[in-house]
């Protein structure tokens, strides 16, 4: 029997490609000069897709080329790069890589929070520019006495909260539902949480349900001493409203890992000296990207061994698990 054909839409970590190359015939879409023609040729043979946020969207347009696809394995816990509702309609299982990146993303979030409050990148630039002999670096804001609100207290939100509990700050959270086993104060709206806090850490999924959850009203509620940290998805924050809030002093500062139109970052943000900007790196260590790539590969391998998917997303639950 010939090996199963898998479409890989974007490069993956070597640990994942090596495992997939051993188990399947891999078709590397990004290497093709004419992707449409290539999809017309190999599309009907494809039974699985390996993808990631590096490749635009896996949606109806792509799936139309893949009438025999059974599974889409996406690298990353956020899977707004896959139209999971459309996949569900077609009976295609979607998997993501939850859990294996929680600690890495939480570590980076704490780093970004401290970098933003204490202006660590700005201080580094100050020293390199030879300005220290002229005058000491200006005093910064502080994490002391702050109340931190977590928007999205899921796996990663809880890992962030665990770390913050060592920092002597008070914690609160917002999500669509109050969690019985969580002691932090719950706020049923993002505005309510912002009013009660002076740091907001955003770590929800992206997609339609969270689009512009953080808007001008939330930023006004956060207030002039307020700091916004976004490690979720760019779409969750109204970027234009954020730029205006930062320019007008409606909030104090922001630390961002994600943007509405990546990898494009508005020049207006880049021009703001009191903002810390990272190029979507929260999970981007070799260790954690290997773990994510391995889990994505393992999902495909398990599926085609008849063992079912390891980590299906809620839109495509798997009930026919083989024992």
**Residue positions annotated with a catalytic role:** 233, 262, 280
* Closer by beta carbon to ligand NDP, 203 or else 295: 203
* Closer by beta carbon to ligand NDP, 66 or else 227: 227
The CA distance from 311 to 95, in Å, is 5
* Closer by beta carbon to ligand NDP, 25 or else 285: 285
Backbone angles phi, psi at 149, to 5 degrees: -105, 130
Nearest approach in angstroms of CB 34 to ligand NDP is: 32
Q: Could you tell me which residues are beta bridge partners of residue 76?
A: none
Nearest approach in angstroms of CB 206 to ligand NDP is: 5
* Closer by beta carbon to ligand NDP, 189 or else 305: 189
Can you say whether the dihedral through the CA atoms of 95, 100, 103, 105 is positive or negative? Answer: negative
Nearest approach in angstroms of CB 284 to ligand NDP is: 7
Strands of the sheet containing 170-174, edge to edge, are 185-186, 170-174, 147-151, 199-202, 227-230, 253-256, 275-277
Nearest approach in angstroms of CB 297 to ligand NDP is: 18
Burial of 220 (0-12, 13-18, 19+ CB in 10 A): middle
| Contacts for 76 with CB less than 8 Å, ≥ 6 apart | 52, 53, 96, 97, 101, 283, 292
Question: What is the widest separation between alpha-carbon atoms in the chain?
Answer: 74
**Which residues contribute to the site for ligand NDP (CB under 6 A)?**
77-78, 98, 101, 105, 152-157, 175-177, 203-206, 209-210, 213, 231-233, 257-258, 280, 282-283
Nearest approach in angstroms of CB 319 to ligand NDP is: 20
Other C-beta atoms lying within 10 Å of the C-beta of residue 317: 10
* Residue facing ligand NDP at closest CB distance: 154
The CA distance from 109 to 160, in Å, is 7
In order, the DSSP letters of 18-47 are HHHHHHSEEEEGGG-SSHHHHHHHHGGGEE
Secondary structure (3-state) at 153: coil
* Closer by beta carbon to ligand NDP, 80 or else 298: 80
Strands of the sheet containing 5-8, edge to edge, are 25-28, 5-8, 46-52, 71-75, 93-95
Nearest approach in angstroms of CB 159 to ligand NDP is: 8
Angstrom CA distances, 259 to 262, 279, 283, 296, stand at: 6, 9, 16, 25
* Closer by beta carbon to ligand NDP, 179 or else 305: 179
């Amino acid at each position: 029997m010939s090996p199963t054909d898998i479409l890989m839409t974007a490069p993956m970590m070597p640990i994942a490609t090596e495992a997939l190359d051993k188990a399947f015939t891999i078709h590397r879409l990004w290497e093709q000069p004419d992707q449409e023609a290539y999809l017309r040729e190999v599309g009907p043979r494809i039974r699985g897709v390996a993808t990631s946020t590096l490749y635009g969207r896996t949606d109806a347009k792509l799936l139309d080329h893949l009438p025999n696809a059974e599974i889409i394995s996406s690298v990353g816990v956020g899977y707004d790069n896959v139209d999971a509702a459309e996949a569900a309609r077609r009976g295609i299982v979607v998997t993501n890589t939850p859990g294996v990146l929680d600690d890495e993303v939480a570590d980076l979030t704490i780093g970004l929070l401290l970098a933003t409050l204490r202006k660590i990148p700005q201080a580094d630039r100050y020293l390199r520019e030879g300005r220290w002999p002229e005058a000491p670096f200006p005093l910064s804001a502080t994490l002391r006495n702050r109340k931190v609100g977590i928007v999205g207290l899921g796996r990663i939100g809880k890992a962030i909260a665990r770390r913050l509990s060592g920092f002597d700050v008070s914690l609160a959270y917002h999500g669509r539902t109050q969690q019985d086993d969580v002691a932090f104060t719950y706020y049923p709206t993002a505005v309510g949480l912002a009013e009660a806090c002076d740091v907001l850490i955003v770590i929800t999924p992206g997609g339609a349900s969270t689009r512009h959850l953080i808007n001008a009203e939330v930023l006004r509620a956060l207030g002039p001493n307020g700091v916004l940290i976004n490690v979720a998805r760019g779409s969750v924050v109204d970027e234009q409203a954020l730029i205006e809030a930062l320019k007008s002093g409606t909030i104090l500062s922001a630390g961002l890992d994600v943007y509405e139109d990546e990898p494009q970052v508005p020049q207006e943000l880049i021009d703001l000296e009191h903002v810390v900007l990272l190029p979507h790196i929260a999970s981007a260590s070799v260790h954690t990207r290997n773990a994510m790539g391995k889990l994505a590969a393992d999902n495909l391998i398990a599926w085609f061994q008849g063992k079912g998917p390891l980590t299906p997303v809620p839109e495509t639950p798997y009930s026919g698990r083989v024992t």
